[in-house]
Structures are given as C-alpha cells and as structure tokens.
C-alpha cells in the first residue's frame, strides 16, 4: 500500500500511509484508537476506497472496489466488530454467499455445507456444532466462527482486527498457534491488537500508525512492549494499579439470591465495598455477563435482593436500576451500548434525557455542554459532538458508552470488558477514571477476560465457574494461578467466601 490517503467529513483518517507485507509474514499493525489502523485495513479489504495512493499485489497495481474484489485477490478480513448473522447457523455464516448448490434449482447442499465446516472448527479447537444458531453462542464463540470463515476462503492475506478481544486464555493460545501455522504455510497475516504481549509473541515485524500517519516500524529483534508504546504514544505508560485513597464501607452494595436464565438452578450472593474496584474473573461461559444483566433487570429470571447503603431496592427493569444509580456498560458496545446512527451528543444524553428537556422540548445547548465535557474528560477523538458515532473508531465508541453513564454520577458502575479493543494509552485513562469513581465513593464491578487487566486494576477479585462464585481473592492473594484454579472450579485456601453475612 503506497501513499494511502482517506478523508471523512471533518476527519483526515489517513495521510500518505504506506504499508507492505511479505508472503508468510506476520505483520503487527499497532497504534492508538483513531490512529487509522482499521481504516487502512478496510481499504485493503474493499470496504472503503482510498482518496489517494495505490494498492499493489505481487507488485502489480490493483483496484479493490468491494469486498468481493478483495476475496478474489485472496484477502480475508476478520473485523473487530463481528459481522455475523445471528439468525443463521454456524455453517451458513461460514459459507455465506459461497454456498454449494444442487440441481437446476440451485438449492443449498446442506449436507456438504455442514461437512465442509467441521474441519475449520476442529482446526480452531472449537467444540460447537456447525448446525448451532449464532444467537445461541457467546461473543467469543461467534468470534471463532468469523475466523473459521476466513480460513474457509483459503486466503493469501488474512487481516485480524483485535481477534482475541473476546477470547479466553485457552482460545487465545490456540489462535496464536494458528497464526504461526498460517505464516509457516505461506499465508500473510496482518495482526491488529492492543494486547502487546501477543504482538511480541507472534509478530515478525511491527508497523505503528499515529494520527493517521506512519510513526515507524520495528524488526523482530527490536520488538518490545516499551518500544511499541514509545512509537504509539510517545510517552511512558505507568503501571495500572493504584490503591484507593478513600475510606471503604464494607457491604455497601449487597446482592442476595440472584438468578440467571443461563443457570436457573443456581443462586448467587455477594457483597461489594464502597470505594473498591471488584473484578469478576472466570472462563467464558461462567455466567459473569448474565449475572450483571440480571442485576440491572435485563433477565426476567433475576429476582435478586439488592441493597445500597442498607436500603433495599426493587429492580424489575433497567429503568429501575438507572433510577437507583446502578449502570451497566455492556460487552457488546454496538449492539447493546450505542445507537450508532445517532450523534455523540445524542448517545451521551440518551439515558438521562429528561434532564435536558424544557416544556417537553430537548434543550440542545445543555446536551452539548455535557457531551463536550465527556469528550474532553475521556479524550475522545471526534471532530465535535455532532459527529455520528458510526464514524468513530471502536475505542472511541467505547469511550462514548462509558461517558454517558459517567455524566450521571453512578453509585454502582458495572463494566463488562471495559477496554475491549482499546489501546494502551486509552486503557490507562479509563483505569484512572475507574479509580477516581471508586475514590469518590462508587462501587465498580468489572468483568474482564484480560488476565493482566484483572490483576492490575482490581482491589479484590471474585471468580466464577459455571454460574457460581467459587471464591474471592484479596489483593495479596490475587495471582494468575489462584484465579485459574478457582475458574476451573477448584477450591483453594487463599479464597474467601463471597459475602460476610
């Protein structure tokens, strides 16, 4: 890719960017959110057309007008935001648009499509049936279906945009092994990730973008966490953990006998301390997200007894939870956290719209004031608050989801994978905001599949396994080994009970 330029209304996304990848090379593409990584790859994948520059394959200039053109050139794109149809089964998603057909009426050959999907799932180590509908799968499993689809294309170049952001440790390990196998077999991989330990492990070379321009590159011998961060942000990122400076109130937030539709035969009870960040760890499918949805009234099976500061609350719907100052930042930001066709301003004020009305009319100036405060506080990269959210990068979209609740002074903030797809600089900002919220007396409940994040940010860690809490670890006992022991259902001496009384 030579001299690539791309402009959107009010934004220069790419300015004279060049990139090359060799046959069988694993190239890591790094940069902060909004640096232009996904935009550059969407041009290579046929999603966008460049305003300047050219793309060459095998040394020959090519015109990639659409995704079909990219596929014909052997380019497959695994997007950060999942592009699956959840009303279809696994096999239908893998071979969508390329279905094998039978006879003059061109009926889909169901037997062949299921048989052809099986080897790709086995190659990924995924234990699911090709006949399973996508809406029955977790986000992590849907991610693996996307990867299986790319493998089925027999691509020469596979673009992976944050491929492990929703995967467990074991799934991530298998994916990294697969990346190495693809490279050895002559397939080129462009690997976009904010998890720099993965980059260090799998990349042959690193290219860094900053503010839509080339910031530099690193050969294999030069790759390290510090060298990548230096090119990305030009500053040192300090360790994430900082002890709370506020007085703690044990048992400030209490949950008793919570149920979920996923594990209807089990109940969950726990206490959370005012002023703490309580991390929730566990393998994908342990029931963490389901528990949090039950607490805010999104699961009809919920029925939990909830109290804040000794006051019992009735939470039958999300409206009840919001009224009591309990807010959920969901894992699926685009599907559940945003209305992407609306502006930054509209998304920021949507949950508290009554505050911005006068005589049943929305007062735009009030909305803009609050939206601009959140843009400044969270350092959101956007031309202004009237920009549609769909035009922002994934990480900046995540900041908007966070900002709309921060503007409402939460008592309990539930964060489900809060830094999924966010760069190291923005992660540090979000960790700082989480700590500031806790220091101001809020309870922070954080779900994360990133072990480093859980260990670095949490004051205590609660571990779940198959719908139950297997133990709670104080700060001194928070180790990867202890968490994994509890995550697979084992009892350990270092763990405590989930609640005091």
**Lowest mean pLDDT: which of 46-50, 121-125, 367-371?**
121-125
- DSSP secondary structure letters along 25-74: -EEEEE--TTSSHHHHHHHHTTSS--SEEEEEETTEEE---SHHHHHHTT
Can you give the pLDDT at residue 241? Answer: 65
Rounded (10°) CA dihedral 224, 225, 227, 233: 160
Can you give the pLDDT at residue 369? Answer: 93
Q: Say if CB 379 and CB 295 are below 8 A apart.
A: no
Q: Say if CB 475 and CB 445 are below 8 A apart.
A: no
- What angle separates helix 139-152 from helix 169-184, to the nearest 10 degrees? 10
**Lowest mean pLDDT: which of 265-274, 436-445, 487-496?**
487-496
For the residues 371-387, what does the mean pLDDT come to? 89
Can you give the pLDDT at residue 55? Answer: 95
What the block records as the tokens of 420 is: 């999924």
For the residues 240-261, what does the mean pLDDT come to? 83
Sorted by where each starts, the structural domains of the chain and their CATH numbers stand as 2-233 (3.40.50.300), 249-325+411-501 (3.40.50.300), 332-408 (no CATH)
Does pLDDT of 34 surpass 80? no
| Contacts for 462 with CB less than 8 Å, ≥ 6 apart | 270, 278, 279, 280, 281, 469, 471, 472, 473, 498
Can you give the pLDDT at residue 33? Answer: 67
Can you give the pLDDT at residue 487? Answer: 82
Does pLDDT of 239 surpass 70? no
What tens digit of pLDDT does each residue of 119-138 get? 989 888 788 899 999 988 87
Q: To the nearest whole percent, how much of the chain has pLDDT over 70?
A: 96
Does pLDDT of 238 surpass 60? no
For the residues 160-185, what does the mean pLDDT come to? 82
End-to-end CA distance of the chain: 62
Can you give the pLDDT at residue 416? Answer: 92
Does pLDDT of 400 surpass 70? yes
For the residues 409-417, what does the mean pLDDT come to? 92
Rounded (10°) CA dihedral 194, 200, 206, 209: 20
Can you give the pLDDT at residue 237? Answer: 47
For the residues 99-107, what does the mean pLDDT come to? 87
- Supply the pTM of this predicted model: 0.62
Residue 288 neighbours by CB distance under 10 Å: 26
Q: Where is pLDDT greater, at 324 or 489?
A: 324
Does pLDDT of 77 surpass 50? yes
Q: Are strands 107-108 and 101-102 parallel, antiparallel or unpaired?
A: antiparallel
Mean pLDDT for the chain?
87
Residue 333 DSSP class: I
What the block records as the tokens of 272 is: 């959370």
For the residues 402-408, what does the mean pLDDT come to? 84
């Amino acid at each position: 890719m030579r001299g690539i330029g791309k402009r959107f209304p009010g934004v220069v996304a790419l300015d004279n960017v060049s990139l090359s990848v060799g046959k069988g090379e694993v190239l890591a593409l790094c940069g902060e959110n909004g640096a232009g990584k996904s935009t550059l790859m969407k041009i290579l994948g046929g999603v966008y057309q460049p305003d300047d520059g050219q793309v060459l394959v095998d040394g020959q200039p090519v015109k990639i007008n659409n995704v079909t053109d990219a596929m014909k050139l052997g380019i497959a794109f695994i997007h950060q935001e999942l592009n699956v149809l959840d009303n279809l089964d696994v096999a239908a998603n893998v071979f969508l648009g390329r279905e094998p057909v039978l006879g003059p009426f061109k009926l889909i050959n169901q037997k062949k499509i299921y048989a052809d999907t099986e080897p790709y799932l086995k190659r990924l180590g995924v234990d699911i049936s090709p006949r399973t509908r996508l809406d029955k799968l977790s986000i992590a499993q849907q991610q693996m279906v996307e990867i299986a689809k790319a493998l089925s294309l027999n691509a020469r170049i596979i673009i992976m945009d944050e491929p492990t952001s929703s995967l467990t440790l074991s799934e991530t390990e298998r994916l990294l092994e697969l990346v190495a196998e693809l490279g050895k077999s002559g397939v080129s991989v462009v690997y976009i990730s904010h998890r720099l330990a993965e980059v260090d492990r799998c990349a042959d070379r690193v290219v860094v973008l900053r503010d839509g321009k080339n910031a530099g590159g690193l050969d294999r011998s030069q790759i390290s966490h510090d060298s990548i961060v230096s090119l990305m942000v030009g500053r040192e990122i300090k360790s994430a953990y900082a002890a709370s400076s506020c007085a703690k109130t044990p048992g400030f937030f209490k949950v008793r006998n919570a149920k979920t539709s996923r594990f209807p035969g089990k109940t969950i009870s726990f206490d959370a301390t005012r002023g703490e960040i309580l991390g929730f760890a566990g393998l994908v499918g342990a029931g963490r997200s389901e528990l949090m949805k039950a607490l805010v009234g999104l699961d009809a099976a919920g029925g939990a007894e909830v109290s804040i500061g000794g006051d019992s609350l009735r939470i039958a719907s999300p409206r009840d939870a919001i009224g009591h100052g309990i807010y959920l930042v969901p894992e699926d930001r685009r599907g559940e956290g945003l209305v992407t066709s609306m502006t930054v301003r509209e998304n920021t004020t949507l949950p508290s719209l009554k505050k911005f009305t006068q005589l049943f009319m929305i007062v735009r100036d009030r909305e803009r004031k609050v939206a601009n405060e959140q843009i400044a506080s969270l350092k959101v990269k956007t031309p202004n608050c009237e920009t549609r959210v769909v035009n922002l990068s994934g990480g900046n979209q995540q900041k908007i989801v966070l900002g709309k609740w921060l503007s409402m002074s939460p008592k309990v903030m539930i964060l489900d994978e809060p830094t999924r797809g966010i760069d190291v600089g923005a992660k540090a900002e979000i960790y700082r905001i989480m700590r500031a919220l806790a220091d101001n007396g809020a309870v922070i409940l954080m779900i994360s599949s990133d072990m480093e994040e859980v260990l670095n940010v949490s004051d205590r860690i609660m571990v779940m396994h198959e719908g139950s809490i297997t133990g709670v670890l104080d700060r001194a006992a928070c180790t990867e080994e202890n968490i994994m022991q509890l995550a697979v259902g084992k009892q350990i001496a270092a763990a405590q009970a989930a609640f005091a009384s």
